[in-house]
Each structure stands twice: as structure tokens, then as C-alpha cells.
Amino acid sequence: MNTFAGSVEKLCSASIRDYINPYSYIEWPETLATDQWCTTPELISLFGTPFYDDLSPAEQQRLSFYEAINFFSLNIHGEKSLIEGLAQRLYRKGNDVVSPYIHHFLDEENKHMIYFGGFCVRYANKVYPDRKMVFTRDYEAGEEDFMFFGKVLIFEEIVDVYNRRMAKDERLAPIIRQINFLHHRDESRHPAFWRLLLRDLFEKYSPQWSKETRERISEYLKNYLLATWKEYYNPAAYKDAGLKNAFDVQEQALQIDATRKHRNEVSAGCIRFLMETGILLEQPQL
Ligand SMILES: [Fe+2]
Ligand SMILES: [Fe+2]
């Protein structure tokens, strides 16, 4: 058995071992007190900016709640498109090795949406809408798959840094910690798999790709990384938290050094992988 097939088999066993029922696993509090943290303060998108510093502690906690709704909402949208793309690839010719694991992915990502959506609808009565745009065009052999899995890797690696930190943060409401912990438990396997798969696809297809295709893929994934980060700065969440001029806040916050530093720090591992493999041809400017 080659190493890729062996790794897929191990990942399947781990998914079977950690299988949970999300309906019985989580005990939802009737209501959620507003005088507590729902996002790790240092992970709040405006942390380190005057917009955050000017808020009272109560207002900062209110913002932390809407940032959690935004974080969970963007997870739902990321997972929706992941499920869509994975379902299309299930049992597709050439996917014999990965299809058994795709079943686990579909199951796990659906469960994640159950608790992310459960939280948002219960306590905020909404999920923020998806703000990403989708473009379609023609692709070279292997290019479409590669970009799909590249996007998934970027998306999940950033999310997992947040999950890991919030699962351990004792300042947070217990239900928030639990959701982040549960998500991290499954997700601790997913990015490792995407990295394996991307290396495998890159070795297989990149020698046949033209220089233009290599550049296009690098540019596309870089833009996806920027777009993903922009979603963490959601004017709708700022407005709900009572901030004025929410769109200006988003635009200005993205330019402040403290937030750039944060984005670079959180995505460092992912960017390192994409640069070392040669997938990204230049360091992205976040
Ligand atoms: Fe997930
Ligand atoms: Fe995942």
C-alpha cells in the first residue's frame, strides 16, 4: 500500500473512532448571557485598533458575540461549498482511494454545520449571508480539483487556529468552548489530509501545467486567502454590535498594522506550506 492510501485508511479509522451524534452531544443553554466573552478578545477582528479600544468592556463583549456569529456563519458557508465539491468527487473515476474518506468528510462537515447553525439560529436568530463570489471558467487537466482543494486547505487551516485557541480559552462561555473543541477534534485531521492530497495532485499535474497556469493558480489562491480574511471583518457584525459606519470600520481595520500582523501570524503555517511546495509563487501581502 502506498503512503497516501495508508494515510487515508488511518484517517478513516480515526473518524470512525471519534464518531459523535451532534444532537445528543451538546447541551444548549436556554439563553446566552451577554456579559461574557464569545470570542477570544485577541481574535476579535478589531482587536488592537482604536475601534476596539474605544469600546466599553460591555460593548467589547457584545462585539465578541457577533464575531462568534460571524465566525460560525463563515464556517457554515465554507462547509457548504466543501460538501458540494466533495459530493461531486465521491466515487468519481480515479478517486477509489479517497472515496471512503469523502464519506467521513461529508458526515463530519454536516455535523459541524448542525452545531454552528444551531448556535447562530438559537442565540442570534440568523446566519450572516455568504459574501464570497464564485467565478467559473475553463481549466487545464487537474487544475479545477487542485484549486478546489487548495481553497479548502486555506479555509480550514485558518479556522483551526481559531478553534484551537478558543477551545482552551477559559474566559469564553462554555458552549463556545465546546463548539470550538468539537470542531477542532474533527478538523485536526482535515488540514493534514488536504496537504497530502495537494502534494499528490501537484506532483501529478504541475509538470504538465504551462507557466501561465502555474501563475494563475498561485494568483487565484492568493486572492482566495485575501478574500477569506476579509470575511473575518464583517460590517454586518459591526453594525449588530452597535458600531457606527460599519463599512468604513471594515476598510480601515484591514489597513491597520495590528490586524495585518494578526493575519500573518494566524496564516503563517498555511503560507509556509504553500510557498515551500511552490504552489504560491510569491509571498501574499495580507
Ligand atoms: Fe468543519
Ligand atoms: Fe473540515
For residue 133, the CA-to-ligand 1 centroid distance in Å is 20
The interaxial angle of helices 190-205 and 99-124, nearest 10 deg, is 130
For residue 156, the CA-to-ligand 2 centroid distance in Å is 6
Per-residue pLDDT of the chain (286 residues; tens, 9 = 90+): 578 889 899 999 999 999 999 999 899 999 999 899 999 999 999 999 999 999 999 999 999 999 999 999 999 999 999 999 999 999 999 899 999 999 999 999 999 999 999 999 999 999 999 988 777 778 898 999 999 999 999 999 999 999 999 999 999 999 999 999 999 999 988 998 999 999 999 999 999 999 999 999 999 999 999 999 999 999 999 999 999 999 999 999 999 999 999 999 999 999 999 999 999 999 999 9
For residue 104, the CA-to-ligand 2 centroid distance in Å is 10
Q: What is the pLDDT of residue 34?
A: 82
Q: What is the pLDDT of residue 138?
A: 84
Q: What is the pLDDT of residue 40?
A: 98
What would the grid cell of residue 230 be?
Answer: 476579509
For residue 146, the CA-to-ligand 1 centroid distance in Å is 19
Q: What is the pLDDT of residue 134?
A: 73
Q: Global pTM?
A: 0.93
Residue that is written with C-alpha cell 452531544 in the block: 25
DSSP state of 206: G
For residue 283, the CA-to-ligand 1 centroid distance in Å is 27
Encode 229-244: b = buried (16+ Cβ within 10 Å), e = exposed: bbbbbbbbbbebbebe
For residue 80, the CA-to-ligand 1 centroid distance in Å is 9
87: helix, strand or coil: helix
Q: What is the pLDDT of residue 137?
A: 78
Alpha-carbon distance of 172 to 65, in angstroms, equals 10
For residue 42, the CA-to-ligand 1 centroid distance in Å is 22
The β-bridge partners of 37 are: 172
Q: What is the pLDDT of residue 194?
A: 93
Q: What is the pLDDT of residue 28?
A: 96
CB 64 within 8 A of CB 37: yes
Q: Which long-range contacts (CB under 8 A, 24 or more apart) does 160-169 make?
A: 160/184, 160/187, 160/188, 160/190, 160/191, 161/266, 161/269, 162/40, 162/43, 162/71, 162/266, 163/187, 165/40, 165/43, 166/39, 166/40, 166/43, 169/37, 169/40
For residue 186, the CA-to-ligand 2 centroid distance in Å is 7
Query: What is the number of the ligand closest to the CA of 190?
Result: 2
For residue 252, the CA-to-ligand 2 centroid distance in Å is 31
For residue 19, the CA-to-ligand 2 centroid distance in Å is 14
Query: What is the number of the ligand closest to the CA of 180?
Result: 1
Alpha-carbon distance of 137 to 213, in angstroms, equals 13
